[in-house]
Amino acid sequence: MFNLLKTAVLMAAITALFMTVGRLLGGQQGMVLALVFALGMNVFSYWFSDKMVLRMYNAQEVDASTAPQFYRMVQELAQKAELPMPRVYLINEDAPNAFATGRNPQHAAVAATTGILRALSERELRGVMAHELAHVKHRDILISTISATMAGAISMLGNFGLMFGGRDSEGRPVNPLVSILMMFLAPLAASLIQMAISRAREFEADRGGAEISGDPAALASALQKIHRLAQGLPMEAAEAHPETAQMMIMNPLSAGGLRGLFSTHPATEERVERLLAMAQGGVAR
């Protein structure tokens, strides 16, 4: 119930942001059009955003015959978490990362890069996939997928404002500097909304994943390894669609400028510290 409330708050906040940008672009009429567009995007995001994200990453669905070891691992962890079996995808990408998507546990999907399968031991990979299934169990996946789609739409709206200029409430053209500011501030505001939700969510998924796998130390080791390897392996799809970065187990974006300052992920060191504390506290394998 709490995550449903968070989803409603997120959709309301981003809808309000759409209306603000729409007012700057086209005055009162622009605000109404932006509201209609935002409501349409909310409906579209609920039903189709998971498919959009998987397509962005060119994710390929696999099963027990095409990726038997990986598929059986997810199947075993899903049973342990008392979840329906999600669809399983692989992304042909060297950068090590993984994410979960879908609107609910009955329509969930988990995806991992081929790079993460090569980089991690079986124990570590189990920890990562348990983390993703914890997102499914906590119903975080709808929040992350909707926020990714809506943040991308806001960025597009900001760019539209730069190209065509904005209008004040009287319908007169606004100062071009306002349009330029809007291009930067609209996506930034969307990122701040994402960040407020994502950081706490990652800690909870780490805890839940450690409980599902029964091996918090393995997840801690995986996070350290992913953090180290990801530094020199840019993820092109994530760089092209930065609004999807908050869905990943580790931030896939280069850390320069505002991206580093407004990261949607908590510091890896703090995540590892919490997991090792769980291991010392005696989470059973």
CA distance 156 to 98: 26
| Of residues 68, 64, 113, the one with CA closest to residue 249 | 113
Report if residue 240 sits inside a domain: yes
Domain count, the chain: 1
Report if residue 43 sits inside a domain: yes
Report if residue 157 sits inside a domain: yes
pTM of the model: 0.78
Please tell me the predicted confidence (pLDDT) of residue 159. 59
H/E stretch holding 91 reads: strand 87-91
Report if residue 285 sits inside a domain: no
Pairing mode, strands 108-113 and 87-91: parallel
Residues with Cβ within 8 Å of 170's Cβ and at least 6 positions away in sequence, in order, are 27
For residues 270 and 207, is the Cβ–Cβ distance under 8 A? Answer: no
Domain that residue 211 falls in: 2-280
Report if residue 212 sits inside a domain: yes
Catalytic residue ranges? 132
CA distance 236 to 143: 23
HSE-up of 75 (CA within 13 Å, CB side)? 9
For residues 173 and 212, is the Cβ–Cβ distance under 8 A? Answer: no
| Of residues 238, 249, 244, 242, the one with CA closest to residue 203 | 249
Report if residue 58 sits inside a domain: yes
Based on its alpha-carbon atoms, the radius of gyration of the chain, rounded to whole angstroms, reads 20
Helices 122-137 and 216-230 pack at an angle, to 10 degrees, of 100
Q: What residues in the chain have per-residue pLDDT under 50?
A: 168-169, 257-261
Report if residue 248 sits inside a domain: yes
**Any bridge partners for residue 116, and if so which?**
none
Please tell me the predicted confidence (pLDDT) of residue 176. 56
Report if residue 146 sits inside a domain: yes
Please tell me the predicted confidence (pLDDT) of residue 206. 97
DSSP codes joined into one string, 162-215: HHH--B-TTSPBPPHHHHHHHHHHHHHHHHHHHHHHHHHHHHHHHHHHHHHHT-
